[in-house]
Amino acid sequence: MLKDQQDAFGHGMYDYFNGIEGAEIAERDDGYIDQTGGPAAYFAPYRKWFPIEKKAMKYVRGRVLDVGCGAGRQSLYLQEKGHDVVGIDNSPLAIEVCKKRGLRDARIIPITQIGSTIGIFDTILLFGNNFGLFGTPTRAERLLKRLHKMTSKQGRIIAVSSDIYKTDDPDHLAYHAANRARGRISGQLRFKIRYKRYVSAWFDWLLVSKKEMESILKGTGWVVSRYIDSDAPQYIAIIDKKKA
């Protein structure tokens, strides 16, 4: 389980839930530092969601697994709509917040430990750029195959990612080039989160273009059936089980 000192993300979220605001900092392994948008977005009511997120909700069906559920905004919305929802996150404090907000089934489970013991689902949610939770293309392929076994015949993944190639920032372009030079894909980020005195361990985060996502999906039993685009680099992929 994640140590309390490492749960920077969770502490920021727990403080926000209790009316305390603070700055969350992302530190990339090339020394680039930036302030994140903070936890507010994880508590946003449906009316304040991005248009592409609202559109994606129309593709949710059946029993739902919300991977990296954060403060549970998607889970709670779908629970209200009558779906059987399980929210999972590796942050103990995030899960505590979910429970306090009324999510009936919230569990401390990192994406690397998902398996059929959690149950069988019709929809897997990877919101908040959470396709990135796969970390690396190799791990993504392995976990996608596991998700295939955890889903019904009509199984579906709704995944959010961002096309990192849609930038002209020299710092980001240099990082992409450095990644490629060491055999990684451009959007394979490595960073840690800082909040007050709490610091996460280094972890990989995977941002991919549509073409890269489709390449990763090959051989996993999944295929993109449609994309929901935005004016920003962020997009949502509706991923269905490949027909035999």
Residue 17 lies in a domain: no
Residue 9: count of CB within 10 angstroms of its CB? 24
Beta carbons within 8 Å of 168's beta carbon, 6+ residues apart: none
240: left (phi over 0), alpha (psi -120 to 50) or beta: beta
Residue 108's pLDDT is what? 98
In terms of pLDDT, which residue wins out, 165 or 243? 165
Residue 84 lies in a domain: yes
- For residue 17, what pLDDT band results from cuts at 50, 70 and 90? very high
Check whether 203 has a pLDDT greater than 80. Answer: yes
What distance in Å separates the CA atoms of residue 162 and residue 213, rounded to the nearest whole number?
11
Residue 1's pLDDT is what? 82
**Pair 39, 71: CB distance under 8 Å:** yes
For residue range 205-241, what is the model confidence (pLDDT) as tens digits? 999 999 999 999 999 999 999 999 999 999 999 999 9
Alpha helices in 20-120 (DSSP H): 51-57, 73-80, 92-100
Residue 58 lies in a domain: yes
Residue 155's pLDDT is what? 97
For residue range 148-160, what is the model confidence (pLDDT) as tens digits? 999 999 999 999 9
Half-sphere exposure of 137 (CA within 13 A, CB side): 17
What distance in Å separates the CA atoms of residue 196 and residue 177, rounded to the nearest whole number?
32
The stretch 4-28 carries a mean pLDDT of: 97
For residue range 96-112, what is the model confidence (pLDDT) as tens digits? 999 999 999 999 999 99
Check whether 91 has a pLDDT greater than 80. Answer: yes
For residue range 129-147, what is the model confidence (pLDDT) as tens digits? 999 999 999 999 999 999 9
Domains: count for the chain: 1
Q: What is the mean pLDDT of the chain?
A: 97
Beta carbons within 8 Å of 86's beta carbon, 6+ residues apart: 63, 64, 65, 66, 105, 106, 107, 118, 119, 121
What distance in Å separates the CA atoms of residue 145 and residue 150, rounded to the nearest whole number?
9
What distance in Å separates the CA atoms of residue 83 and residue 52, rounded to the nearest whole number?
20
Residue 134 lies in a domain: yes
Instruction: Identify the H or E element spanning 170.
Output: helix 170-181
Residue 104 lies in a domain: yes
What distance in Å separates the CA atoms of residue 160 and residue 204, rounded to the nearest whole number?
16
The stretch 27-55 carries a mean pLDDT of: 96
Domain with 224 in it: 48-189+204-241
Q: In the chain, what percentage of residues exceed pLDDT 90?
A: 97
Residue 79's pLDDT is what? 98
Residue 228 lies in a domain: yes
Residue 244's pLDDT is what? 72
Residue 7 lies in a domain: no
Residue 166 lies in a domain: yes
For residue range 168-185, what is the model confidence (pLDDT) as tens digits? 999 999 999 999 999 999
Residue 241's pLDDT is what? 97
Check whether 243 has a pLDDT greater than 90. Answer: no
Q: Using the structure block, give the residue that is written with the tokens 């999510």.
A: 103
CATH number at residue 115: 3.40.50.150
Beta strands in 37-120 (DSSP E): 64-67, 85-89, 106-108
Residue 220's pLDDT is what? 98
**Pair 25, 36: CB distance under 8 Å:** yes
